A and B are shown apart, each in its own frame.
Chain A
């Protein structure tokens, strides 16, 4: 594992970097209201333009990276950040999967430019929005749109203590069971993505009486040899056969905030073919 140096003085240096994003994951750092000042003592904030005018050029012991790669210059900038960072952690759906702006990956970028800008020829952007891990090695990923601030605090604490952060990627269903939330898929018949979505949020949506919409991306099966989680095909079939969703609706369901994550991408593609057929 990559470790940050264990030392009290000088303190480990933190850099927070933004690419294409809404700033919500960076805000989650500032939303650690009870711990923010202690964090400012445990880490030296070397680069965090949203919060401080003080900016060091690096190197950084820890880089938190928000946002996806959508411009040529960002391809170079993320490499420069990687070179300066001992440990690089991506934060949020944009950085880990390309974010909602990855919906362009299924569209013609020129038509997108024309739709939004009167002079589209002045807009320079890549045809795709891609996760940070497509460009550089990422040490740890914090999922979510936005990230869960308590998960963030746990990862920071682990890294400061020299412990490998471990993030469970079990499905949202397990979090509903722990909370004692009645299953909205079964009880309300809404197309909940919880069975195939990674927990970490605390199963917020079902607790608010609605379907999970996949903010934390696909549940991760990597550490469960032989398992078929996330079984997106089975869930999509249930949406179609038992809830009456038409292919276009199932396509939209999987092509959302984490639509570019591989297993969601595969499922939306399958229903796109059915919708076109």
Chain B
């Protein structure tokens, strides 16, 4: 951590706290807070992740290259990018992927949730609650817990590797299905480890129940997918805690990205206001669709839904790890290989859009294709960019209780607020630099 010394100023008491690199997040970001005469004057969340211009170079590429290209937006959640992309293009082609192929996509997504959530819960977030700089340092005193987390993570990666060939940038996802589907026997080979991991996920919920959560419950607007019959992964309407329910086709009517003057930033707002996507939003908007075991384990551990404290994002993640493991076992149990690994495709010109639930929240893609199947326009709205504005609002609300502390403690406190969201800054490079100026 890189903490600048307060800059002395003769007339007003101003101190600037610069958190040089926000650690234990995916990608690199920084935060600058200016406090004047005891009040938070300025908060700047700098995302100095260099832009890579995916939406630009997707233009001119063929639709069948899209899953391979968009995976590279994020090494932590590549399958999410592949899923939103294939669903958007399939919508344009009027292609309906159902039955075992749909189940396999759901299973791949479960693998990614397990891998990504276990990474965050155990390696990135838990050290905050137990007072360590990293999971490796934490392992000296909590060896069994860290080993458990790594093994759960490995179970998620095993699903992805079986279905996708590898866990980072899987290779088998394509428009219409997969390039290869597993045999029933191959899938059953995962069962023993997934059953172990399911029990370990129950332990995880009990473990996070022992953590101390600072009381904090901002008035959030939650946004997640909702599918009538199942916990949302690939499909569903976009619903909000305010009662809005729209399809992905209407996403851009309600959710607007804009670059703010003097901020070098694109913000995404829902009808003008900031909102929360991700595990907390999903659990709160869909808890009636969680299996009774998940609800029961949460209840026994002392948690009641909805969860309103952002620090309990770790609880929502732990609950979703358990859900994803139960769902994986269910999907494997009913699996019969499909007649073909992918459906035949008829290319059409036009526009297709889709939203799926990435580990960090809803991920929107829109593509316009010409009659040769070449991309003419692409738009991608990742979850972390949707949470950015809300993270800054949380910091503004949380900071006053830290202001009498040292710069180091303030920095650490801010970092902890940011880490609750598991921000993936590599995904969100549209958001080069965020800056808030509030007049109070």
Contacts and interface: CB of A to CB of B under 8 A. Distances in A.
B168 A51 contact: no
A28 B167 CA distance: 9
Interface string B39-83: 000000000011111111101011001001100111110100000
Contact of A45 (B134, B174, B430): B134
B153 A27 contact: no
Contacts of A19: 50
Given A53-B134, A54-B134, A55-B21, A104 B72 contact: no
Contacts of A20: 49-50, 52
Contacts of A157: none
Contacts of B146: 37
Nearest to A32: B150
Contacts of A36: 136, 150
A257 interface: yes
A123 B432 contact: yes
B172 interface: yes
Contact of A204 (B119, B127, B143, B165): B165
B390 interface: no
Interface string A100-114: 110110010001110
**Top 7 nearest A-B pairs by Cβ distance?**
A24-B75, A52-B134, A40-B136, A209-B180, A210-B179, A103-B57, A101-B52
Interface in B137-165: 137, 139, 143, 146-147, 150-151, 153-154, 157, 164-165
A274 to B, nearest CB: 17
Given A112-B57, A205-B165, A23 B259 contact: no
A53 B133 contact: yes
B175 to A, nearest CB: 13
Contacts of B174: 210
A83 interface: no
A18 interface: yes
A104 B57 contact: yes
B135 interface: yes
A50 B56 contact: no
A23 B124 CA distance: 14
B426 interface: yes
A162 to B, nearest CB: 24
B78 to A, nearest CB: 7
Interface string A47-74: 0111111110000000000000011001
22 contacts: A18-B27, A22-B75, A23-B76, A23-B426, A25-B168, A27-B76, A30-B123, A31-B167, A34-B150, A36-B150, A48-B134, A49-B21, A52-B136, A70-B52, A104-B57, A117-B430, A118-B258, A122-B264, A123-B264, A146-B166, A252-B61, A257-B72
Contact of A24 (B52, B76, B430): B76
B354 interface: no
Contacts of B51: 70, 116-117, 123, 125
B168 A52 contact: no
A203 to B, nearest CB: 10
Interface in A1-29: 18-28
Contact of B26 (A23, A122, A205): A23
B139 A37 contact: yes
B350 interface: no
Contacts of B266: 117-118
A213 B68 contact: yes
B50 A70 contact: yes
Nearest to A37: B139
Contacts of A220: none
B360 to A, nearest CB: 13
B24 interface: yes
B133 A18 contact: no
Contacts of B127: 53
Nearest to B22: A49
B25 interface: yes
A49 B28 contact: yes
A234 interface: no
Contacts of B26: 23, 27, 50
A30 B179 contact: no
Given A23-B26, A24-B78, A252-B61, A74 B50 contact: yes
Contacts of A25: 75, 168
B135 A31 contact: no
Contact of B430 (A26, A30, A48, A116): A116
